[in-house]
Amino acid sequence: MPSSKIQILKTEILSDNWYTLKKITFNFLTESGVWETQEREAYDRGNGATILLYNLNLSTVILTKQFRLPTYINGNETGMLIESCAGLLGKDHPEDCIKRETEEETGFQITDVKKIFEAYMSPGSVTEILHFFIAEYSNKMKIGLGGGLLSEQENIEVLEINFNTALNMIDMGTIKDGKTIMLLQYLRLHKIL
């Protein structure tokens, strides 16, 4: 249900090239009872899902490595980013999406996933809510090479990393992706690995 403290006055589409960038003009009722007119831009790329695969016997996790242009233009010298498998939902249910993305990106076919939470990753400017999952994997589940879809030009490298090494990679600044850090810390806090 819409909030009685917000009145949308105008919505302008600034870009509809890759995703949609909107400029919203709205009234906001402050705690002091005064209506303020504000303008904000919001980037709508759809909602997504992410997953961390882990192996209890080997104490390993599956991560991916791929080029991310926004990190490159913001100081990441190579633009390569180590992260958890993820993808946009489109019209799919989050669980269906993450199973498909896992197979495309990592080559593992998983059936049992556990949803652990949802989070807005950049709520000041991006509308996306991300659904977080974890799942156990074994080598028996590996049915392909992974790497992403050629049509999406993903060029993904699949990494199998010792869990403690992955945690150290956060401390060393080698892993800087927010969703990946959250998933690794979840496994640590819940003493899964």
Question: Checking DSSP bridges between strand 157-162 and strand 80-83, what pairing results, if any?
Answer: unpaired
Instruction: Say how far apart CA 159 and CA 126 lie, in whole Å.
Output: 28
Evaluate whether 110 touches 99 at the Cβ level (below 8 Å): yes
Assign a CATH topology to domain 48-189.
Nucleoside Triphosphate Pyrophosphohydrolase (3.90.79)
**Residue 82 CB neighbours (<10 A):** 19
pTM: 0.92
Q: Where in the chain is the domain with CATH 3.90.79.10?
A: 48-189
Q: Is the pLDDT confidence value at 18 over 90? A: no
Output the average pLDDT for the chain. 94
Q: Is the pLDDT confidence value at 65 over 80? A: yes
Provide the pLDDT for residue 52: 98
Long-range contacts of 107-110 (CB under 8 A, 24+ apart): 107/142, 107/143, 107/144, 107/145, 107/146, 107/147, 107/158, 108/53, 108/62, 108/137, 108/141, 108/142, 108/143, 108/146, 109/141, 109/142, 109/143, 110/53, 110/135, 110/137, 110/141
